[in-house]
């Protein structure tokens, strides 16, 4: 697979149990080493291309997730990591869970698992990278047309 | 004249893997007060007990926090077992002890890494987490999961470890101990690290007592309390003493946690040497009726599980008091009067776990 740019990721913990949260960090660590693909973890939404969200959405973190998303420059890709980010998972019936991340922002890639394994997360991020390239191409085309 | 200003900190912040929000009231660079606002991770897990029966709830209890997932599951199971008068087999008790201590090692190593990251020592961060992978591998061979294990059940354990696995574990632990000695030298003796940790964030013994601190945060201020001494799982048969330090600054907390990792190696070795043969679970009959308080020493300190059953398969109430919740007042106290640049480190020194605090 061809990677044309080094995608930077930002990670936000919605209402996860920390399980997926540390697995995301783990996949950046020496053993799994997502950084070999040029991926850098950043804390600044304006630097980021890929948004990794773990955990479901509740009333209090919904505006935070939306704000981070809106601050990211185009093109951007959202990856929901773990089953609770996909649809609420085991916490679906909790009174304070509105559902998966797609209740707040559009999600492009869903990574399953409880907890999502680092291999799955890496796979998700690589899919996101491919999607990012596609979105960039589309943006270029649109810009030409206008 | 100094000007007061308020700096918001979080909920999304580079050093915090988890969302917590603090309003820092500053006088120039000095923090005068810190006002927390929490609730970003609240899910409402305690209420879920009305929808999941007492055996299904083990899986929910595990997901209170993914770092201490084993201990949450175990604490809940022990509480229900007390209510139902179930005596689990001795081998299961030893297995619980081994997995508990493995969780402690993994949690403390994770914390060491985050601390290194907070003071900008990237390679130390990577080293700590590399070492932690070995524990995760041990978890994976013994339970099948890396962070969520699902090996606890009411009445014992779902899985056993065979002799071959145990002897492999002791070998891995020996390796890890050697490597940790190397890493801990940097943590404890490096000049740059010391300059960030020494003499910041004091908590005196009296303050720790008054504010109800728990765990390594309290023990670093000189109070020798450890709920493992209360004797759940196989801890009554194991020889260990609570680890303390008299100093009470950030460096002391780091020191206490590092020594606790070595202690955990030792406890696992003792448990492997003494583990009896036999069953790992007993069948459970009937429904829980009655109530019980269970106290468990987690990596971050004492957690309390309250369980109340009413004779049906749905429990009336489950309540969890988590260690971070008890440590928050102490943390706010240490933040008073510190420099703005020290805030991330001070927050980290209590080893905050927001997802279990807010559930
Ligand atoms: S998917 Fe599972 S492990 Fe991941 S955050 Fe949700 S409950 Fe935790």
Q: Is residue A63 in a domain?
A: yes
Within 10 angstroms of residue B231's Cβ, the number of other Cβ atoms is: 11
Residue in chain A closest to B106 (alpha carbons) equals A22
Interface membership of B123 toward A (CB under 8 Å): no
pLDDT of residue B13: 67
- Average pLDDT (B107-126) is 84
Q: How many CB pairs below 8 A link A and B?
A: 120
Question: Could you give the ipTM of this predicted complex?
Answer: 0.81
pLDDT band at B33 (very low <50, low <70, confident <90, very high): confident
Cα(A109) to centroid(ligand 1), Å: 16
- Average pLDDT (B154-173) is 85
Q: In sequence order, what are the residues at sequence separation of 6 or more whose Cβ sits closer than 8 angstroms to the Cβ of residue B58?
A: B73, B76, B77, B150, B152, B153, B154
Q: In sequence order, what are the residues at sequence separation of 6 or more whose Cβ sits closer than 8 angstroms to the Cβ of residue B315?
A: B49, B54, B57, B80, B288, B307, B308, B309
What class is the B4-358 domain? mainly alpha
Q: Is residue A13 in a domain?
A: yes
Largest CA distance in chain B: 73
Q: Is residue A1 in a domain?
A: no
Question: B 23-42 residues with CB below 8 A of A?
Answer: 39-42
pLDDT of residue B349: 80
Min mean pLDDT across A121-125, B138-142, B201-205 is at B201-205
Q: Do B104 and B69 touch, CB atoms closer than 8 A?
A: no
pLDDT band at A97 (very low <50, low <70, confident <90, very high): confident
Task: Give the residue carrying structure tokens 């005196």.
Answer: B204
Question: B 324-353 residues with CB below 8 A of A?
Answer: 353
Residue B341 has pLDDT above 70, yes or no: yes
Contact yes or no for A30 and B64 at CB 8 A:
no
DSSP secondary structure of B22-79: EEEEEETTEEEEEEEE--TT---TGGGGGTS-TTTHHHHHHTT-SSSHHHHHHHHHHH
pLDDT digits (tens, 9 = 90+) for B38-68: 777 788 788 887 788 888 888 888 888 888 8
Residue B14 has pLDDT above 70, yes or no: no
- Average pLDDT (B107-123) is 84
Q: In sequence order, what are the residues at sequence separation of 6 or more whose Cβ sits closer than 8 angstroms to the Cβ of residue B209?
A: B223
Nearest CA owner, ligand 1 atom 6: A84
pLDDT of residue B229: 80
Contact yes or no for B41 and A15 at CB 8 A:
yes
Phi and psi (nearest 5°) for B3? Answer: -105, 140
Among the partner residues A22, A43, A90, nearest to B13 by beta-carbon distance: A43
Q: Do B48 and B26 touch, CB atoms closer than 8 A?
A: no
Task: Give the residue carrying structure tokens 């770092």.
Answer: B67
pLDDT of residue B342: 78
Domain ranges of chain B: 4-358
pLDDT digits (tens, 9 = 90+) for A100-126: 888 888 888 898 888 888 888 888 888
Contact yes or no for B66 and A115 at CB 8 A:
yes
Q: Is residue A3 in a domain?
A: no
Share of chain B above pLDDT 70, in %: 97
Total number of domains constituting chain A: 1
Both tokens of A102, joined, read 């797609």
Hey, of B11, B37, B47, B63, which one would you mutate to test binding to chain A, going by the most A CBs within 10 A of its CB? Answer: B63
What are the distances in angstroms from CA B24 to CA A98, B4, B339, B358?
30, 10, 11, 21
Ligand 1 atom nearest B148 alpha carbon? 3
To the nearest whole Å, the CA of A59 is away from the closest chain B CA by 8
CATH number at residue A98: 3.40.50.12280
Contact yes or no for B41 and A68 at CB 8 A:
no
Hey, of B14, B38, B40, B137, which one would you mutate to test binding to chain A, going by the most A CBs within 10 A of its CB? Answer: B40
Q: In sequence order, what are the residues at sequence separation of 6 or more whose Cβ sits closer than 8 angstroms to the Cβ of residue B178?
A: none
Q: Is residue A15 in a domain?
A: yes
Residue B1 has pLDDT above 60, yes or no: no
Give the Cα separation of B143 and B271 in Å (integer): 18
pLDDT band at B16 (very low <50, low <70, confident <90, very high): low
- Average pLDDT (B174-184) is 87
- Average pLDDT (A81-90) is 85
Ligand 1 pocket, CB under 6 A: A 16-17, 19-20, 54-55, 82-84, 89-90, 114-115; B 63, 66, 148
What's the pTM?
0.86
* B4-9 β-sheet, strand order: B4-9, B21-27, B30-37
To the nearest whole Å, the CA of A127 is away from the closest chain B CA by 23
A105 is in which domain, residue-wise?
8-145
């Amino acid at each position: 697979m061809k990677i044309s740019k080094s995608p930077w990721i930002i990670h936000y913990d919605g209402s996860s149990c920390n399980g997926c949260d540390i697995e995301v960090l783990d996949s950046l660590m020496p053993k799994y080493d997502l950084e070999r693909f040029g991926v850098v973890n950043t804390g600044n939404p304006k630097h980021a291309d890929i948004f990794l969200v773990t955990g479901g959405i509740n009333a209090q973190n919904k505006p935070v997730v939306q704000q981070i998303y809106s601050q990211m420059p185009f093109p951007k890709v959202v990856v929901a990591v773990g089953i609770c980010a996909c649809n609420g998972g085991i916490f679906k019936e909790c009174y304070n869970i509105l559902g998966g991340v797609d209740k707040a922002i559009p999600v492009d890639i869903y990574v399953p698992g409880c907890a999502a394994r680092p291999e799955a997360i890496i796979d998700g991020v690589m899919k996101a990278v491919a999607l990012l390239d596609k979105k960039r191409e589309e943006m270029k085309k649109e810009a030409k047309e206008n | 004249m100094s000007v007061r200003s308020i700096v918001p900190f979080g909920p999304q912040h580079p050093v915090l893997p988890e969302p917590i929000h603090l309003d820092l009231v500053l006088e120039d660079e000095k923090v005068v007060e810190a006002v927390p606002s929490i609730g970003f991770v609240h899910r409402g897990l305690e209420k879920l007990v009305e929808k999941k029966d007492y055996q299904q709830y083990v899986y929910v209890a595990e997901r209170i926090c993914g770092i201490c997932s084993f201990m949450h599951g175990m604490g809940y199971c022990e509480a229900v077992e007390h209510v139902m008068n179930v005596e689990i087999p001795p081998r299961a008790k030893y297995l619980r002890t081994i997995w508990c201590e493995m969780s402690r090692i993994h949690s403390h190593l994770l914390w060491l890494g985050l601390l290194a990251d907070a003071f900008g020592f990237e390679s130390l961060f990577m080293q700590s987490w590399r070492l932690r992978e070995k524990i995760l591998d041990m978890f994976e061979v013994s339970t099948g999961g890396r962070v969520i294990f699902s090996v606890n059940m009411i009445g014992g354990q779902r899985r056993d470890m065979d002799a071959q696995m145990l002897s492999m574990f002791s070998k891995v632990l020996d390796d890890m101990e050697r490597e940790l000695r190397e890493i801990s030298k940097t943590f404890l003796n490096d000049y740059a690290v010391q300059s960030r940790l020494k003499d910041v964030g004091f908590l005196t013994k009296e303050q720790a007592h008054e504010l109800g601190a728990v765990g390594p945060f309290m023990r670093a201020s000189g109070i020798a309390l450890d709920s493992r001494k209360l004797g759940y799982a196989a801890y009554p048969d194991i020889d260990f003493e609570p680890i303390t330090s008299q100093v009470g600054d950030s460096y002391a907390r780091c020191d206490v946690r590092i020594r606790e990792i070595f202690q955990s190696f030792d406890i696992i070795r003792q448990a492997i040497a003494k583990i009896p043969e036999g069953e790992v679970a007993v069948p459970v009959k009937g429904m829980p009726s009655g109530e019980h308080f269970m106290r468990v020493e987690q990596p971050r300190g004492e957690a309390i599980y309250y369980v109340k059953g009413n004779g049906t398969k749905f429990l009336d109430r489950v309540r969890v008091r988590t260690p971070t919740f008890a440590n928050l007042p102490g943390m706010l106290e240490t933040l008073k009067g510190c420099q703005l640049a020290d805030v991330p480190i001070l927050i980290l020194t209590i080893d905050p776990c927001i997802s279990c605090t807010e559930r």
